[in-house]
Amino acid sequence: MKVGVLALQGASARHVTMLARLGVQPVAVRSQADLDTVDALVLPGGESTTISMLLESADLFDPLAARLAGGMPAFGTCAGMILLGHEILDGRPDQRCFDVVDISVRRNAFGRQVDSFEADLAVGGIDDGPVHAVFIRAPVVEAVGEGVDILATVEGRPVLCRQGPVVVAAFHPELGDDPRLHELFLREVA
Ligand code: GLN
């Protein structure tokens, strides 16, 4: 299976490493031609406003929206979560999202860069111990639609969700040495 990692801006490199380690063939996606070759896509952390803009200037927004609407599995982390949700709170007026997970996502909900933090999360579907999660200017899910499963929370707020073949995390599961969330994505959805 070929899994793409959107590589227009942000933290794509560690996702590539993690996927390769799990035995799938990672592909850096920067164009529609790249996108056409993959079976699933990781949307990494970074700056969602910038990624949204670059998706448009690369003529990739609409082709990617079509693939997602067609049921392509996707794993969005941090900025990637913002891009896959239904509604962006505290976004820039011109930033767009794909609306494949029925969540409202508030950007920078835990504060600024200096307020970045780490937490051990109990994750639904992972039974062999907590997942250590790194939150960097992280978003939070403020509203959740009916079809969405909440897989982990921080202070009662959802930070890991799934709807159908799409998984979204407010944190950075590619940092550190724990492949279990990528495994969960590959096993359950891709
Ligand atoms: N705050 C960033 C945004 O709004 C996301 C931060 C991240 O991906 N680590 O896009």
Digit-by-digit pLDDT tens for the chain (190 residues) are 899 999 999 999 999 999 999 999 999 999 999 999 999 999 999 999 999 999 999 999 999 999 999 999 999 999 999 999 999 999 999 999 999 999 999 999 988 888 889 999 999 999 999 999 999 999 999 999 999 999 999 999 999 999 999 999 999 999 989 999 999 999 977 6
Give the Cα separation of 36 and 2 in Å (integer): 11
Q: How high is the pLDDT of residue 190?
A: 64
Ligand 1: residue of 136, 140, 141, 159 to mutate (most ligand atoms within 8 A of CB) is 136
Instruction: For residue 174, indicate whether it is catalytic.
Output: yes
Q: How high is the pLDDT of residue 161?
A: 98
- Name the catalytic one among 15, 86, 172, 182: 172
Give the Cα separation of 184 and 37 in Å (integer): 22
Which amino acid makes up residue 113? Answer: Q
Atom of ligand 1 nearest to the CA of 48: 10
Atom of ligand 1 nearest to the CA of 47: 10
Q: How high is the pLDDT of residue 18?
A: 97
Give the Cα separation of 68 and 180 in Å (integer): 23
Tokens read off for 135: 């939150």
- pTM (2 decimals)? 0.96
Q: Is 88 in the pocket of ligand 1 (CB under 6 A)?
A: no
Q: Is 107 in the pocket of ligand 1 (CB under 6 A)?
A: yes
Q: Is 116 in the pocket of ligand 1 (CB under 6 A)?
A: no
Atom of ligand 1 nearest to the CA of 138: 6
Q: How far is the CA of 22 from the centre of ligand 1 (A)?
A: 26
Spatial CB neighbours of 13, under 8 Å, sequence gap ≥ 6: none
Task: Give strand pairing partners of 131.
Answer: 121
Q: Is 46 in the pocket of ligand 1 (CB under 6 A)?
A: yes
**DSSP E strands: which ranges in the chain?**
2-6, 25-29, 40-43, 74-77, 87-89, 103-106, 117-121, 131-135, 140-144, 149-154, 157-163, 166-169
